[in-house]
Structure 1
Amino acid sequence: MNINWYPGHMKKTRELIKEQLKLVDVVYELLDARIPLSSKNPDIDGIIGDKPKVIILNKIDLADPQITSRWVNYFKEKGMTVIPVNTITGEGIRQVIEESQKAIKEKMDALIKKGRKARPARIMIAGIPNVGKSSLINKLAGRKSTQTGDRPGVTKGKQWIRLKGDMELLDTPGILWPKFEDPIVAQNLAFSGAIKDEIMDTETLAYKLLEILWNDHKEKVIERYKINEEYNSTIDIMDHISRNRGCILKGDEIDYSRISNIILDEFRSGKIGRISLERP
């Protein structure tokens, strides 16, 4: 499956990040805990250079907790500041604020030494579409400051938002990169919803996802979809799930479009279980 999606506004976002970088003290790089490497935009490090950065592993409530713990160690061993976060419960939010203040303490102390007044810390948040930026910002701000949605492209332009702990945050729209060199990365991004379903062949996408889940997380698929037979092919599993869910057209044909959307939605919402598609 050949997947590429790089609409014009993403090129503008890349330019916006480069332009606004001089205004900020710290960058939050937001990753999807289920696919930390696939959701890490390879352009970001080159754009932000030496600017202090905090990696935030979001959506830990949807990922396998043991594998998330291994990812935290993976990034720490590379000398990176990394914080796992659940924007539903608020887990990790206080640590994000503390790490941000720590990262700019030296800069603020230098301002005070010069006789100038310490100003609010300025933060930029960057990440791929649909990785939960808006939900994170609302938790950091302690109120609903920005629109959220379970689809890519909800944030349209830059906006400054006041956060707790005397900080200001510059939100930016989700940004991918022009060409996915690795088809597995593109596939993982599509599974997570970072690429718009409207441009996808969702039936093939759901088939590929089900194939991976059956191979690597079989017990979760069996439990979720009440499978009590042994199947050797993905299409037979898909047909079984379709019949269980009543996704049948006239003439007893399988409604593959409907069951594909169900499988994708239930993976993305964690209904199939806490599943990580990548391991360190």
Structure 2
Amino acid sequence: MAIQWFPGHMHLTQKAITERVKDIDVVIELLDARLPGSSANPMLARLTANRPALKVLNKQDLADPERTERWLAHYNGLPATRAIPLDASLSTPAQQIVRACHALSPNRGGLAKPMRVLICGIPNVGKSTLINTLTGGRKAKTGDEAGITKLEQRITLADDFYLWDTPGMLWPRIVVPKSGYNLAASGAVGRNAFDEEEVALELLGYLKQHYAAGLVARFKLVEHEHEPAELAEMRDEALLDTIGRKRGALLGKGRVNLQKAAEIVMHEFRAGNLGRITLETPEEFAQWLAEGQRADAEREAKKAARKQQRKGGKAAAAEDDAAA
């Protein structure tokens, strides 16, 4: 199942960014450090007209430290781009962000040329929490549901540093299927846009390959067949069933409530109870992206061929009518 979620306010955000970026010096994109590639908005580079970019890998305290370093190296290797890790609950992240912005746009600063920064990110990535930390108050609404912020806000961090906050925004079509699953698992996608059991199975399929020890420890999978080394051979459906039984998610006659089991798995991941996890490496994401773009190009080619075929059929019918 392809996961897509682009409610109306996201279309308005797209238009607002297009207008606002004309007067912006640096664009901050807040990424989820657990899925840095999937949470990077491919539409943003076009909308922000290649402005200098600061990639902030938020929730780094929940992410795999070794993989975070690999992602930082990846983004810091891009032109006009800097990347820093961050935990939005830290008490003093403002200086780090301000320094990074001035490094990207060194000619801005002072009352005559104040720094003008736009902060963007996917829903539920922690943007509002970060802004409240930066301002020392509750300037932005927060919550664990995607799509809390609905309006653009201007926030003054200093006399010569202005920050524009935008609502969380995905993009109209997610061409990387794995990204859709990772976004859903992280909470960036509205619950009505995906099947929780399907997403939980995808999540377990990755975790058992790369973070089996966390699954074994958290869900008390202590039987021999569930040791970390053996877990990779277990079917995803059987693993979800086992977790449901361990947590008492049962229906009548001993059947497992798979919906409830899926909710448990995703809650444990989002809360960081399975350990520090990152669901993708730069190399994995590059492969997924190439495959997704190739499949998307094939879909577009078939769509164009069908359109041309219908057009040709109409033309032939018109010629027959004229001959008659």
Shorter-chain TM-score above 0.5:
yes
Q: Which has the larger radius of gyration?
A: 2
Q: Which moved more, 1:219-228 or 1:251-260?
A: 251-260
Question: CA shift at 1:94, angstroms?
Answer: 2.2
Question: CA shift at 1:25, angstroms?
Answer: 2.3
| Contact 1:84/1:92 (8 A) holds in 2 | no
Find out whether 1:82 has 2:99 as its counterpart.
no
CA distance in 1, matches of 2:104, 2:218: 44
Partner of 1:158: 152
Partner of 1:3: 3
| Contact 2:146/2:189 (8 A) holds in 1 | yes
| Contact 1:222/1:228 (8 A) holds in 2 | yes
Question: CA shift at 1:60, angstroms?
Answer: 0.3
Question: CA shift at 1:173, angstroms?
Answer: 0.7
5 Å-filtered alignment, 1:135-214, equals 135-164=129-158, 166-214=160-208
CA distance in 2, matches of 1:277, 1:52: 27
Identify the structure with the greater helix proportion.
2
CA distance in 2, matches of 1:165, 1:95: 17
Partner of 1:124: 118
Q: Letter of the aligned partner of 1:187 in structure 2?
A: Y
Matched residue SS, 1:248: coil
Partner of 2:280: 278
Q: Which runs of 5+ in 2 are unaligned?
A: 227-233, 283-324
Matched residue SS, 2:69: helix
Find out whether 1:55 has 2:55 as its counterpart.
yes
Larger RCO (CA within 8 A; separation ≥ 6)? 1
Q: Deviations over 1:107-160 (max 9, x none)?
A: 347xxxxxxx42542211111111111011112112221111112100011111
Partner of 1:113: none
Q: Between the two proteins, what is the percent identity of the paired residues?
A: 40
Partner of 1:95: 96
Matched residue SS, 2:131: helix
| Contact 2:102/2:108 (8 A) holds in 1 | no
Q: Which moved more, 1:205-214 or 1:12-21?
A: 205-214
Q: CA RMSD for the aligned pairs?
A: 1.8
Q: Which runs of 4+ in 1 moved over 6 A?
A: none
In structure 2, do the counterparts of structure 1 residues 253 and 13 end up closer, same or farther at CA, with 3 Å as the change threshold?
Answer: same
CA distance in 1, matches of 2:209, 2:106: 48
- The TM-score, its normalising length taken from structure 1, stands at 0.91
Task: Pick from 243, 249, 252 the counterpart of residue 250 of structure 1.
Answer: 252
Partner of 2:264: 262
Question: CA shift at 1:164, angstroms?
Answer: 4.7
- The TM-score, its normalising length taken from structure 2, stands at 0.79
